Amino acid sequence: MNEKRVISKADRLLWSIFGIGILIVFGEILNCTMALSAMFTGPGEPVNIWKPITITSIVGFVYIIPTIFGRKKRKSAAIAVLNIYLGWTVIGWIVALVWASLGDRD
């Protein structure tokens, strides 16, 4: 039962696009949390870096849940790309989550 999964060129391209997208998304989340953290600190106070990093990690994990759920599906790369590029709309995230939760058609 040790099957080797063959990844097509299209899936490799989609996973590359996913990788670029995840870097952009996590960067933007960190940027926003750093800006919010700086807004709520007084003048001359150092910004605590750990709070934004923790928030970014939690939000980032929740954001990629559909990708994690759909990782063993036939169209896993498409689910991942949909999640990264349209997940911020919430509707896209829900669609990716539902798609990842449904069974594969034969």
Read off the pLDDT of each residue in 58-73 and give the average, rounded to a whole number.
90
Report pLDDT for 101. 92
The pairs formed by 18-27 with CB atoms below 8 angstroms and a separation of 24 or more are 18/67, 18/77, 18/80, 18/81, 18/84, 21/81, 21/84, 21/85, 22/64, 22/84, 25/60, 25/63, 25/84, 25/88, 26/56, 26/60
pLDDT cut 90: percent of the chain above it? 21
Average pLDDT in the chain: 84
Q: What's the average model confidence in pLDDT over 64-85?
A: 89
> Is 0.75 topped by the overall pTM?
no
Domain residue limits, the chain: 9-101
Rounded average pLDDT over 43-72: 85
Work out the pLDDT band at 3, boundaries 50, 70, 90.
Answer: low
9-13, 44-48, 62-66 — which is least confidently predicted?
44-48
Banded pLDDT at 4 (limits 50, 70, 90): low
